[in-house]
């Protein structure tokens, strides 16, 4: 697509439920990144994909978080048993190739755990 598309744009979920966030990167971009940003805070790196593989999962906050990417395109970030501290904006970005140039970010998914 023309830009990075994320869905849903907003998600309100009850504590303890699982949520799945989707990112559709720019067509042909092989590198894909997930970040989260809490209110008034900086960008927290979560995970990075080069193609379908994730060389760096170091930012995932706990084992409740997982991500996958299939077909070198769409990625899903899954949060199991959500907690209130998971509330944040989850941003996805893509790049033609890892480490080169700037990112294009999607508009994010605003997750609220109540």
Residue 48 or 65: which CB sits closer to other proteins?
A: 48
Q: x/- contact string, 28-57, with other proteins (CB under 8 A)?
A: -----x-x-----xxx-x--x------xx-
Cis peptide before 8 (omega within 30 of 0): yes
Between CA 81 and CA 17 the distance in angstroms is 5
When asked if residue 103 is in the footprint of other proteins (CB under 8 A), the reply is: yes
63 vs 71: CA distance, rounded Å = 24
List residues binding other proteins (CB under 8 A). 33, 35, 41-43, 45, 48, 55-56, 91, 98-108
């Amino acid at each position: 697509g023309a830009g990075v598309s994320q869905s849903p744009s907003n998600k309100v979920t009850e504590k303890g439920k699982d949520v799945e966030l989707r990112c559709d990167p720019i067509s042909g971009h092989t590198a894909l990144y997930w970040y989260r940003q809490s209110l008034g805070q900086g960008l927290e790196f979560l995970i990075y994909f080069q193609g379908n593989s994730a060389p760096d999962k170091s930012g995932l906050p706990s084992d409740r978080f997982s991500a996958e990417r299939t077909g070198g395109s769409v990625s899903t970030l899954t949060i199991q048993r959500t907690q209130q501290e998971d509330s944040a904006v989850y941003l996805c970005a893509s790049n033609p190739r890892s480490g080169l140039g700037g990112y294009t970010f999607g508009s994010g998914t605003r997750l609220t755990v109540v």
